[in-house]
Amino acid sequence: MELRSTITCPNCGHKKDEIMPTDACAYYYECAKCKTLLRPLKGDCCVYCSYGTVKCPPMQGSNPCCTP
């Protein structure tokens, strides 16, 4: 299972490597550059599934993820 994902801000394009939590979904993420608060896109369970290079751990394991 891959725990490292690069989140790309859709507002300013800033990229940052993050370690994903294995025990919870990340519903919010603040861009380190422009301070935009990211939320999951409709149909996604977390910000990693919406803006990351790797889906969150529950989705990688084909398990239902948390629902916001």
CA dihedral sign of residues 39, 16, 26, 29: negative
Please name the helix (run of DSSP H) or strand (run of DSSP E) that holds residue 68, with its range, or none: none
What is the per-residue pLDDT across 8-44, written as a single tens digit (0 to 9) for each?
Answer: 999 999 999 999 988 778 899 999 999 999 999 998 8
- C-beta atoms surrounding 7 within 10 Å: 23
Full-model pTM: 0.85
* Dist. CA 27–CA 66, nearest whole Å: 9
Token pair belonging to 33: 């550059």
